[in-house]
Amino acid sequence: MPYTYEYPRPSVTVDAAVFGFDGAELQILLIERALEPFAGSWAIPGGFVDMNESVEAAALRELQEETGISRVFLEQLYTFGEVLRDPRGRVISVAYYALVKPSEHPTSAASDARQARWFPVSALPPLAFDHEKIVAVALARLRGKVRYEPVGFELLPPKFTLSELQALYEAILGTALDKRNFRKKILGMGLLIALSERRQGGQHRPAQLFRFDQKAYKQLRKNGFNFEL
Amino acid sequence: MPYTYEYPRPSVTVDAAVFGFDGAELQILLIERALEPFAGSWAIPGGFVDMNESVEAAALRELQEETGISRVFLEQLYTFGEVLRDPRGRVISVAYYALVKPSEHPTSAASDARQARWFPVSALPPLAFDHEKIVAVALARLRGKVRYEPVGFELLPPKFTLSELQALYEAILGTALDKRNFRKKILGMGLLIALSERRQGGQHRPAQLFRFDQKAYKQLRKNGFNFEL
DNA sequence: TCAAAAGTGTTCTTGATACACCCATGC
DNA sequence: GCATGGGTGTATCAAGAACACTTTTGA
């Protein structure tokens, strides 16, 4: 690297806000830090980027190491580059957000995390570093994104009912939605496939199960289709 | 920095896609590199982040140094973190995009740029590094952003006609817009202030000049107003 | 008087919103 | 038979899209 010897180098970390949904509330996965600084504090998972891995690969690796999660929807969020944001010195953090189906990802703490645990976004503990800011940006992004791209399905199990889907949207957007209008709109898009199964959940009428039609979505996108709400 | 001595550190650069508008076409400001690698190639302005400045401050500084531009709309775009994106070694780039009023920013090359020049986005030369990718992402972001936030005004002089505004939107979006509908919508928002001046530009009827009403916009935003198209 | 851009309203169509009752099941 | 969530249609309203002619100026 002949050209850059003279340049001072900051450290670069990745941090990921991992969202999940428990059927009622939007959740975020936090780890309890095992190491200084902020040992014992809650934080979003993350760590240093190695020299021989891309930034995105680092985010995936840290998620795997600290929480056991792999194969998730992951998208870059924002890079936090204030000079004093980390007591260890100059550390620039590339933040990501991830959407997982908690049912498919039993979390298991490891690496430099004492434990990993889901918290409802409405009741988060104090967080290490500037992670509260990162979470706030991630939430804003998710709320924006969910309205014009079908990312909600990343948070639901492969088979779901329309009521579950609606509850998810209500949890993310923080508003009540009209049941008939919601169904009319979402079914009208032709992105859901009705399965031959139903879900029985108590002493009432069983609900039709659906799955998201990835292929139809990709096809529609090519033709200029825009998912909306 | 006791905790991080053991970590290898990538270099971090900032790069900025700077957009302008000449009345007809959307333009991008490029510099001709004076130094290796890619000496003599065109590139978007950028450079290394110093240890004692935030990433955003670095982007502003590099813009000033390489093109003479200051006090512009600047927003973070995306961080490019592939391992081999820079021949100098491991260099992570935090990309920004900027919107400038070319009239107010006579560009002047300096620092490690031989010259700075505007190019229409439809006719860019080959670019250094992965800058073509960065420009593509910046363009996509601008096209998305311009539809739901009034950023277009950053590209126009303080006083402008409705035809100029419409031409700008048409250049960015790449589509023709209906004159009457455009005027109806944009005036209906109450964000433009009609000035008592007119602009004479040839042998035809002079056009009413307007300016953007920043205060009204901030006020409306507080009340949940959403700019759209 | 001609060329060139500025300016102006109405109709139609489409999508968003509001709203209330019957259905299937388990207990 | 009753409690619980599942499922369905219509009428109103607002916003978007389509569309053509008159006005003002300089040459």
φ, ψ at B51 (rounded to 5°): -70, -25
Best mutation site among B6, B48, B49 for testing chain A: the one with the most A CBs within 10 Å? B49
B81 neighbourhood in chain A, CB within 8 Å: 49, 54-56, 58, 94
* Residues contacting residue A181 through CB under 8 Å, at least 6 positions apart: none
Q: Which residues pair with A27 in a beta bridge?
A: A20, A120
- Number of residues in chain B: 229
* Residues contacting residue A112 through CB under 8 Å, at least 6 positions apart: A33, A34, A35, A47, A66
E strand intervals along chain B:
11-21, 26-33, 42-43, 46-48, 73-80, 91-99, 113-120, 192-199, 207-212
Task: Please tell me whether any atom of strand C lies within 7 Å of the Cβ of B216.
Answer: no
pLDDT-based confidence at residue B57 (cuts at 50, 70, 90): very high
Q: What is the pLDDT of residues B131-184, one digit of tens each?
A: 999 999 999 999 999 999 999 999 999 999 999 999 999 999 999 999 999 999
CA triple A47-A50-A54, angle to 5 deg: 100
Which positions 55-74 of A are in contact with B (Cβ < 8 Å)?
A: 55-56, 58
- Do the Cβ atoms of B52 and A83 come within 8 Å? yes
Residue B58, number of CB atoms within 10 A of its CB: 22
In order along chain A (229 residues), what is the average pLDDT of each group of 10 residues? 63 98 96 95 97 98 94 97 97 98 78 89 98 98 96 96 98 97 97 94 93 95 88
The whole-angstrom separation of Cα B206 and Cα A112 is 69
Closest residue in B to A86 (Cα–Cα):
B1
Give the CA B203 to C1' C3 distance in Å: 8
The predicted pLDDT at position B3 comes to 46
- Do the Cβ atoms of B51 and A8 come within 8 Å? yes
The residue that minimises its CA distance to C1' of C18 is: A178
The predicted pLDDT at position A2 comes to 44
Closest residue in B to A53 (Cα–Cα):
B83
A57–chain B nearest CA distance, Å: 9
CA dihedral B36, B40, B41, B44 (to 10 degrees): 80
- Pairing mode, if any, of strands A46-48 and A73-80? unpaired
- Number of residues in chain A: 229
Class at the top of the CATH hierarchy for domain B2-148: alpha beta
Number of H helices, E strands in chain A: 5, 9
The predicted pLDDT at position B141 comes to 98
Strand D bases contacted by the protein (CB, 7 Å): 3-10, 16-20, 23-27
CATH 1.10.10.10 domain span(s) along chain B: 157-222
Nucleotide nearest to B208 (CA to C1'): C6
* Mean of per-residue pLDDT scores for chain B: 94
The fold of the B157-222 domain, in CATH, is Arc Repressor Mutant, subunit A (1.10.10)
B89 neighbourhood in chain A, CB within 8 Å: 1, 3-4
Q: Is the pTM of this model over 0.85?
A: yes
- Interface residue B1 vs chain A (CB under 8 A): yes
What's the distance, Cα to Cα, between the start and end of chain B in Å? 49
B78 neighbourhood in chain A, CB within 8 Å: 76
Closest CA to A26 of A146, A139, A144, A121: A121
Collapsed DSSP state (helix, strand, coil) of residue B211: strand
Overall average pLDDT of the B55-77 stretch: 96
Q: Which residues pair with A26 in a beta bridge?
A: A21
A145 neighbourhood in chain B, CB within 8 Å: none
CB < 7 A to strand C: residues 137-196, chain A: 178-181, 184-185
CATH 3.90.79.10 domain span(s) along chain A: 2-148
The predicted pLDDT at position B200 comes to 83
CATH 1.10.10.10 domain span(s) along chain A: 158-222
The answer to whether A95 touches A79, Cβ cutoff 8 Å, is: yes
The answer to whether A113 touches A66, Cβ cutoff 8 Å, is: yes
- Do the Cβ atoms of B4 and A88 come within 8 Å? yes
The CATH architecture one would assign to domain A158-222 is: Orthogonal Bundle (1.10)
A11 neighbourhood in chain B, CB within 8 Å: 4, 7, 9
Give alpha helix (H) positions in A149-222. Answer: 162-173, 179-188, 214-222
A92 neighbourhood in chain B, CB within 8 Å: 12, 49, 55, 94
Strand C bases contacted by the protein (CB, 7 Å): 3-10, 16-20, 23-27
φ, ψ at B197 (rounded to 5°): -100, 165
Residues around strand D, C-beta < 7 Å: A 161-163, 179-181, 183-184, 198, 201-208; B 178-181, 185, 200, 202-206, 228-229
**B1: pLDDT strictly greater than 70:** no
Best mutation site among A79, A145, A229 for testing chain B: the one with the most B CBs within 10 Å? A79
- Interface residue A144 vs chain B (CB under 8 A): no
Best mutation site among B52, B90, B94, B148 for testing chain A: the one with the most A CBs within 10 Å? B90
Query: pLDDT higher for B192 or B113?
Result: B192
Closest CA to A127 of A111, A145, A139: A139
The whole-angstrom separation of Cα A189 and Cα A217 is 9
